[in-house]
Structure 1
């Protein structure tokens, strides 16, 4: 039985990447947050995402409870998977899981950064922090019936080149997430205004739009007031860098793109 480990800090998208990674590496079992998933179906364990507190969730995820660990060990002995992928927030957490389930040490540790682009990781963290959404790499029908009301959405099924279904992910709101964070549009606009006002060439900020559908993106429409011969592309790049720095600092999330449109241009003479 070969053990593989996928690790990364909380909210970086490990669970949403687990099925695709398992398929590429011919891994037939996944251990994630207290549950054992085999061939795309939960077959043992209880998800830590349904615990009421973070402490209970951590204990559940590392199989602290003997009854929980014994159940998963027994099923592993029965199915004897050839390869297992264990998910954890750190190598130390994965070592705790391996020890609790009496498994061999992982043959390979895979950091989430090696399989997921930085922008996707930042977007996943933003969704976790602001919306409290967690992913379980099992189908909707496998989620415990008592918690169906927590179900938010079901991700698209992942298909192989032969159209063979290999899995699906389910998004839930765990009780311990503590609610959602909402950022008022006026706050976002004021961040843009304050940043752009540092540039004498900016006459007016006409429009500001933020979208968070896939990745955080910022769209700004400006009017400029500048002398003839001013290098506009360089100015736009300076404004983009300033907006990127300020939104990253204020919101703790870097926009994946910042698009600036110039809707007005006034040329001024210099003495």
Structure 2
């Protein structure tokens, strides 16, 4: 069996990226937080996200429970798995899981920074840190919804580059994740309005729009630029985009996914 490891900090988007990454690498199965996922669906195991405290969640994720371990081992044999991706917060954790499941040595180590942009990782960490959202790489129908009293919702459908559906994710807020910070969308809008009002490279703001589509902030701005145009317009617009990104990073520790600036005219 070929064994792969994917590691990265908690909340960096490993589970979100797992299905597509496994498909691109030709990996049949995924071990994530105590569950075995094959073809986008859970076939064995119990998720650590069902646990009521962090210690129990960690023990579940590294297969400390003998019955849990045997269930997943038997499923790996039943499905004749020839390649598997183990997800964890570090190489040490993925090695521990491989050892517990008696899979052998890990052949290939991968890291979240290699498959996700720094911007995507920042947003994922922000969502985890403020809203306590965790992603499970299995369909909504397979999640025991009565366990998650505070929040459970459908995530994203995952497709290959050839538009083949690989599976879907579910967003949950586990019981053990107690601390959350709710930030009103008006806070983001107020910061953006302040930036635009005080930015010297803008003659007038015609309109702007801020959205949080699929947890990824997108900004659309329509502006007039100052006359005379004795400067390189594209360069000035890029400076504005970079400044907005910097301010969001400074105040919220993440950058918007998209910043679209439309020049309507000259004033």
* TM more than 0.5: yes
Q: Which moved more, 1:251-260 or 1:16-25?
A: 16-25
- Structure 1 vs Structure 2 CA RMSD: 3.3
Q: Which runs of 5+ in 2 are unaligned?
A: none
CA contact (8 A) 1:39 1:166 kept: yes
Q: Which moved more, 1:78-87 or 1:226-235?
A: 226-235
CA displacement at 1:208 relative to structure 2: 4.0
1:85 maps onto 2:109 in alignment: no
Q: Paired residue for 2:111?
A: 111
TM-score normalized by the length of structure 2: 0.79
Distance 2:131 2:60 in 1: 23
Q: Paired residue for 1:96?
A: 96
- Determine which structure has more spread, i.e. the larger CA radius of gyration: 1
Q: Paired residue for 1:124?
A: 124
Q: Secondary structure at the match of 1:191?
A: helix
CA contact (8 A) 1:193 1:205 kept: no
Alpha carbons of structure 1 residues 207 and 160: separation in structure 2 relative to 1, 3 Å: closer
Distance 2:154 2:19 in 1: 17
CA contact (8 A) 2:202 2:224 kept: yes
Distance 2:181 2:203 in 1: 33
TM-score normalized by the length of structure 1: 0.78
Aligned pairs, number: 264
Q: Paired residue for 1:138?
A: 138
1:76 maps onto 2:76 in alignment: yes
CA displacement at 1:79 relative to structure 2: 4.2
CA displacement at 1:186 relative to structure 2: 4.2
1:26 maps onto 2:23 in alignment: no
Q: Which runs of 5+ in 1 are unaligned?
A: 267-271
CA displacement at 1:250 relative to structure 2: 0.2
